[in-house]
Amino acid sequence: MEISVRTAAASLSVFLDHIIDYAGLFAPASLDMTTSVNNYSRYLMHAQRWALGRFVLPVARLGEFRTAKHFSTDGWQISGILSSANIESELAFVSEFNLHASGDRIDILEVRVGSLYEIDQVRQNQPPGTTVFYEVPLPRADEFLPILRHIGACAKLRTGGVVAEAIPAIEHVSAFIARCAELGLPFKATAGLHHPVRCTRPLTYDLNSSESAMHGFLNMFTAAAIAWAASHNGRAVPRLALETCFADRDRTNWHFGEDALTWTGDDEPIQIDVESLRVMRSKFALSFGSCSFEEPLVELREFDLL
């Protein structure tokens, strides 16, 4: 068994705390249930298990999950993905699962919606003790995000996919995070964030995969920290700085110290102290889903950050 020892600087440990929700069932990994369950069980003993978040599971596959996890009675926190075509029946399935599962619990739900009617469907059938992250159409974010804030829900931002067209432009993701910060609306991200900093990489693990510029998770959560710090202190969110941060491909512009994170990719260095990072991560930028837990950590080690 690996021993959990934090080798990272304090600011990086806070930055990464339970940040990666493991989504091995999803593309581009698309692993089978048994492999995904075995992987997550192994990651719970990983040296950097403090960076591991929830197990991401389509609610429609709960039966498979129960069969695959027969070897362990340890309770897992699960993020359940709802299919918009079967919202009511799947929410009932979640309620039944949480009532009878031995230790495992779906406490987070994620659902893609395109209308207020779908949001109401979820609200009317939402199981007790769950928090819902709504993935709304990015072009209509200004319309939907205030509604999510009003009903006490959370937002979800899709940042990539297996085709280049699925990767939103820098100005769009920056505007999304800025608006969430202005509203005080917590969010999570998903897809396309395997790499620490913005880079051009293959979109899948196929040898013949096409390549595209991809967002980095250091960019994403640093931009979130900048937006949160400004809004939390009554200042206007510096949207241009967020765009500059998202576009930054130079790993050496990130400096993780014991007291603060400093990003030097703009005209003036921006410093976020450890306590501000801790509050931001716990109340605002909550996690990102990734089909790989180890790949992001390997690249951080290559950057001499872990």
Is 3 a residue whose pLDDT tops 80? no
Strand partners, 190: 158, 289
Q: List domains and CATH numbers for the chain.
A: 10-302 (3.20.20)
DSSP states along 64-76: HHHHHTTT-----
Q: What is the pLDDT of residues 227-240, one digit of tens each?
A: 999 999 999 999 99
Q: What is the pLDDT of residues 14-66, one digit of tens each?
A: 999 999 999 999 999 999 999 999 999 999 999 999 999 999 999 999 999 99
Q: What is the pLDDT of residues 142-181, one digit of tens each?
A: 999 999 999 999 999 999 999 999 999 999 999 999 999 9
Res 86: pLDDT: 87
CA dihedral 269, 273, 276, 281 (to 10 degrees): 80
Could you give the 3-state DSSP secondary structure of residue 57? strand
Quick one: pLDDT band at residue 101, thresholds 50, 70, 90?
Answer: confident
Contact 219, 198 (CB under 8 A): yes
Is 184 a residue whose pLDDT tops 50? yes
* Phi, psi at 144, each rounded to 5°: -85, -35
Res 70: pLDDT: 77
Res 225: pLDDT: 98
Q: What is the pLDDT of residues 121-132, one digit of tens each?
A: 999 999 999 999
Interatomic CA distance for residues 299 and 248, integer angstroms: 16
